[in-house]
Amino acid sequence: MIISHAGKVAFITGAGSGIGRGIALRLASDGASIAVVDLKLELAQETLALVQAQGGSGVALAADVRSREQVQAAVDDTVAQLGSLDLLVNNAGVVTMTSLADLTDDEWDFVVDVNLKGQFIAAQIASRVMPSGGAIVNLATVESEVVVSSSGNCQPHYNASKGGVTMLTKALAVELAQKGIRVNAVAPGPVNTRFTGGDITGPEAMAFMSQRLLVPRVGEPEDIANAVSFLLSDAASFIVGVQLPVDGGWLTR
């Protein structure tokens, strides 16, 4: 199976670090030009430098996915500088490690707005300029489907936001099918990034996770990027509206 994004422009939110950076590098190596979009411009520029170092091209843009104005400006800049916007990856996401007892309204709004409303805003604005044959991948999580509770502490705001992504993906898939744009989601298991602020590769975390993982390691950004590249590609042209777990078997038992 040959995957190529040659001639395509990919707009990736939260691409300044972690999984988003891995997706930027993978799509660039598959031939796409990359709009590296992040809340923090300096992180976006770091990713763009890595893309360019491996022979790719693109632009680095600052945008908060919660801001319609900033996302619109980033989409406009992408089309003006790279010529089109064919592929969208809704990757930007946040979590706060707060359980129900201590969760504030502000924390709820912060996490739900970035993770869910941000995907709505980016998909709505980007899909207006995407051509037929375009594709979108949303970042969900295994926590769209199951609650991960270490020491009894859950993150209900995160679960709710990402559960919303699961159904947002299906709703977008139905509506955007009329425009020839496919929409799918990827649901990572634990991935080695700065996302939670803690070390998920340490012995204590691994002891907890090994109760669920069938593959005895945490994921790397490349694991997620491989699946995203596939779902965006013509090799997946008959796949729409699904959420693909890339989780080392987390959801299996």
Ligand X SMILES: NC(=O)c1ccc[n+]([C@@H]2O[C@H](COP(=O)([O-])OP(=O)(O)OC[C@H]3O[C@@H](n4cnc5c(N)ncnc54)[C@H](O)[C@@H]3O)[C@@H](O)[C@H]2O)c1
Locate the DSSP E strands across the chain: 9-13, 33-38, 58-62, 87-90, 135-139, 182-188, 243-246
Interacting residues with ligand X (CB under 6 A): 13-14, 16-20, 38-40, 43, 64-66, 91-94, 114, 118, 139, 141, 188, 190-191, 193-195
Max Cα-Cα span within the chain: 50
CB of 102 to ligand X, least distance (A): 20
**Residue 20 or 58 having the CB closest to ligand X:** 20
**Which DSSP category does 251 fall into?**
G
- The phi, psi pair for 205, rounded to 5°, reads -65, -40
CB of 40 to ligand X, least distance (A): 5
- The phi, psi pair for 221, rounded to 5°, reads -50, -35
**Residue 93 or 134 having the CB closest to ligand X:** 93
Catalytic residue from among 25, 32, 130, 158: 158
Tell me which residue of 124, 133, 114 sits closest to 20, measured CA to CA.
114
Please give the Cα distance from 245 to 140 (Å, whole number).
9
Please give the Cα distance from 231 to 213 (Å, whole number).
23
CB of 178 to ligand X, least distance (A): 27
CB of 180 to ligand X, least distance (A): 26
Identify the residue whose tokens are 């739900």: 112
**Residue 134 or 221 having the CB closest to ligand X:** 221
**Residue 117 or 133 having the CB closest to ligand X:** 117
Question: Any catalytic annotation for residue 158?
Answer: yes
Residues with a known catalytic role: 158
